[in-house]
Amino acid sequence: EAQVTQNPRYLITVTGKKLTVTCSQNMNHEYMSWYRQDPGLGLRQIYYSMNVEVTDKGDVPEGYKVSRKEKRNFPLILESPSPNQTSLYFCASSNRDSNEKLFFGSGTQLSVL
Amino acid sequence: AQKITQTQPGMFVQEKEAVTLDCTYDTSDPSYGLFWYKQPSSGEMIFLIYQGSYDQQNATEGRYSLNFQKARKSANLVISASQLGDSAMYFCALNMNTGFQKLVFGTGTRLLVSP
């Protein structure tokens, strides 16, 4: 089954404790990205990757890191989480063409205390 | 910079009636695409419909249709014969045809379908 797999689904952590949210897709998509969703703000792009070893900042990259060592994986790293990073996070992937729909993971609800 | 506006924070509709969810966008580029996604209470994002800026006809997918008015820069989603399962958050998104995905999302409209 074609899918984007994110883990974990829920995560509660404390300020400053490094964490990684994993994302993997099985559709051989070139493009992957991370979004965060906050009430009243919709979804905002954090980082995106157009291919292996090619990543770039989205609209709200501060406090986040990503890597794309393999085509299928695109982990999101929070080196020192802060409470303002409490949010619902989505990983997404698609073919390169901009008229292709994004396939979303099931989301990660992160709470930073 | 491109921008998407959804002015209806919440909408109510009775089962079996049609409902229109508004979306306006702002871009100066002639080539772009518009997407609608549904987010039920379970949280996942479900693709509904796509309209390209050069498409001659309004997009349709089952009970979903997109009322695309290019001159007014609006891309309203029409859901016909609403069902209880349509209760969800709906997001409009704009993508520029830059050769890669750069979706900009609106703030969403929460639709509640009542029996």
Q: What integer is the mean pLDDT of B87-102? A: 83
Q: What integer is the mean pLDDT of A62-77? A: 97
For A98, the closest of B4, B98, B104 (CB atoms) is B98
Closest CA to A91 of A30, A23, A39: A23
Q: What's chain A's average pLDDT?
A: 94
Percentage, residues of chain B above pLDDT 70? 94
Helix and strand numbers, DSSP H then E, in chain A:
0, 11
What is the pLDDT at residue B30? 87
Mutation choice for A interface testing from B35, B45, B47 by most A CBs within 10 A = B45
Read off the pLDDT band of B100 (50, 70, 90): low
Pick the range with the lowest mean pLDDT from A19-23, A70-74, A83-87, B95-99. Answer: B95-99
pLDDT of A103 higher than 70: yes
Neighbours of A7 (CB within 10 A): 15
Read off the pLDDT band of B5 (50, 70, 90): very high
Q: Tokens for A56?
A: 């770039």
What is the pLDDT at residue A46? 96
Chain A residues touching B6 at Cβ < 8 A: 42
- The C-alpha R_g of chain A, in whole angstroms, comes to 13
For B105, the closest of A42, A98, A100 (CB atoms) is A42
Closest CA to B103 of A9, A21, A42: A42
Q: What integer is the mean pLDDT of A2-23? A: 96
By the 8 A CB rule, do B39 and B89 touch? yes
Please, what is the Cα angle at A32 between B108 and A88, to 5 degrees?
A: 40
What is the pLDDT at residue B96? 72
Mutation choice for B interface testing from A37, A43, A45 by most B CBs within 10 A = A43
pLDDT of A96 higher than 90: no
pLDDT, tens only, B32-75:
899 999 999 999 999 999 999 999 899 999 999 999 999 999 99
Record: contact A102-B101, CB cut-off 8 A: yes
Residue A87 is given by DSSP the state E
* Beta bridge mates, A33: A48, A92
